[in-house]
Structures are given as structure tokens and as C-alpha cells.
Amino acid sequence: MSKPKSAYSIPGKKQKNDTHVIVVWVDNEAGVLARVVGLFSGRGYNIESLAVAEVDPKLNISRITIVTTGTPQVIEQIKLQLGKLVPVHKVADFMRGDKKIIFKEMALLKIVGNNVKRKKAIKFCKKFHPVVLDKTNKSVVIQITALRREIDTIMNDLKKTGLVSVSRTGAVAMTRGAEVFK
């Protein structure tokens, strides 16, 4: 065994990482996003994507959707630590791949190229109901809504058709059916 030269213990066994989508309902007040994001960076948790907007202007509630990876223990900690923040009302945690949950992400894709390439690009996106938001004789801006992984794939496919710029919202989530998370 190597000689530990520190006053701290050596790290134990590593568990497997899972991807989770954490949804947090917060008071929409100054600094609340910094509190949530600061908690993640301060405790060494990972953020893959983050989407936030006010959802209830009357009650002043914002909904933050965070995609994160971590061991089951870390995910549990994230939820409990978030729950301790004063402006946080509730915290939901969905495992990626959970059939009861809808995950969606929107992307804007700018293609620059000749007519053939632009047509090809739109064809690639067909599966995700592409909406053409802007077009010139050199370029086209396509809006698609899809899963995170699907957008990753399509970005790869579109490289050869002249993809020059991508903007993504980060995933948002909602439960299927009549149920509402309480």
C-alpha cells in the first residue's frame, strides 16, 4: 500500500455514475440561480445542462431543470442539499430513460451552404419536425426539438452539410399523464 502523506483519508471505492434530471422550483429572487449553481460548483457536482425560466409570475416561482451525473449517493446529496436552500420549494429527480417522464431540448441550427446542402440538412432533421425560422440564398436556420442524445447525433450528421452555429436550450422535463409532481 502506498504511503498516504496527507491528513486526509484516501478515496474509497468509486461507484457507477448515472445521469439524472433534477427539477427545482424556486422563488424568483435576486441571486437564486447563483445559490443553486454555487451549490453544484462548491460541492463538486457536475452540471451537463441548465434551463431556467419563471413559470408562475403570480407566485413568483421559477423552474430550474438541471441535467447532472453522479453516483446514487451524490444524486441523493444534490437533492437534499438543494432542499435545504431557503428559496427552494421542491426538488424532483428523474432518471434519464424514465419512461414516465418527457425530456425535451430545443436547438437552433444554422447551416451555410448551397441549395443542395441546405436541403440535405433539412432532410436530416425530418424526424424532429424541423421548423425553418430564417432563410437566405446562402443560409438557413432550423429549429428542432428532440432528446439530448438525438441533437448530439444530428449535430454530427450536419457537420458535412455546412453547420456553422448551434444554440441549445438544455433539457426540460415533465411527467406524463395527469399527475403533477408535488
Q: Cβ 84 to other proteins, closest distance in Å?
A: 6
Give the closest residue to 22 by CA, choosing from 177, 176, 170, 179. 170
**12 vs 177 by CB, closer to other proteins:** 12
**82 vs 163 by CB, closer to other proteins:** 82
**80 vs 164 by CB, closer to other proteins:** 80
**Which residues are at the interface with other proteins (CB under 8 A)?**
3-10, 12-13, 30-31, 34-35, 38, 42, 73, 76-77, 80-81, 83-90
**53 vs 80 by CB, closer to other proteins:** 80
- The amino acid sitting at 45 is Y
Alpha-helical regions (H) of the chain: 32-42, 72-84, 115-125, 148-158
Q: Cβ 179 to other proteins, closest distance in Å?
A: 19
Q: Are β-strands 88-95 and 131-135 bridged in parallel, bridged antiparallel, or unpaired?
A: unpaired
| Residue entry with cell 453522479 | 70
| Residue entry with cell 439530448 | 148
**39 vs 141 by CB, closer to other proteins:** 39
Q: Cβ 141 to other proteins, closest distance in Å?
A: 35
The secondary structure of residue 44, as a DSSP letter, is T
Q: Cβ 171 to other proteins, closest distance in Å?
A: 25
Q: Cβ 178 to other proteins, closest distance in Å?
A: 23
Q: How far apart are alpha carbons 21 and 15 in whole angstroms?
A: 19
CB 6 within 8 A of CB 39: no
